Amino acid sequence: MSNDRLIGDVVGVIVEKVLMEIGVTTHNKMVEILGEYNMTFSDCYRKPDVLNFALKEIFGNAYLCPVEKIRNELMGLDTDDRIHQFVKLVSES
């Protein structure tokens, strides 16, 4: 398994965990939006623009709240520049 794929899986689990903590309805809405793009949570790492769009659809102007929670969960991987870039792209307005 490649390192990128492993990071993608970890990011996917973290995104899913954060959304489940917010609520099942929120999680289900994300699943629906990702499905429209033929994506799973693990694909969010490779397509942060779609995750950014989906978070804005679900949370509106408050989308940075879950982004911050995702970033905090990724702290253990934070030394990886790819994680910094991912968080930056998901945070874009």
Is pLDDT at 1 greater than 80 in this prediction? Answer: no
List, as own/partner pairs, every contact residues 48-52 make where C-beta atoms lie below 8 angstroms and the sequence separation is at least 24, other chains included.
48/86, 48/89, 48/90, 49/89, 51/15, 51/90, 52/89, 52/90, 52/91, 52/92
Q: In this predicted structure, what is the pLDDT of residue 19?
A: 96
* pLDDT tens for each residue of 31-88: 999 999 999 999 999 999 999 999 999 999 999 999 999 999 988 775 668 888 999 9
* Extents of the domains making up the chain: 3-91
Q: How many CB atoms lie within 10 A of CB 8?
A: 21
- Round to whole Å and give the CA distance between 67 and 93: 12
Please report the pLDDT score of residue 32 as a whole number.
97
pTM of the predicted protein model: 0.90
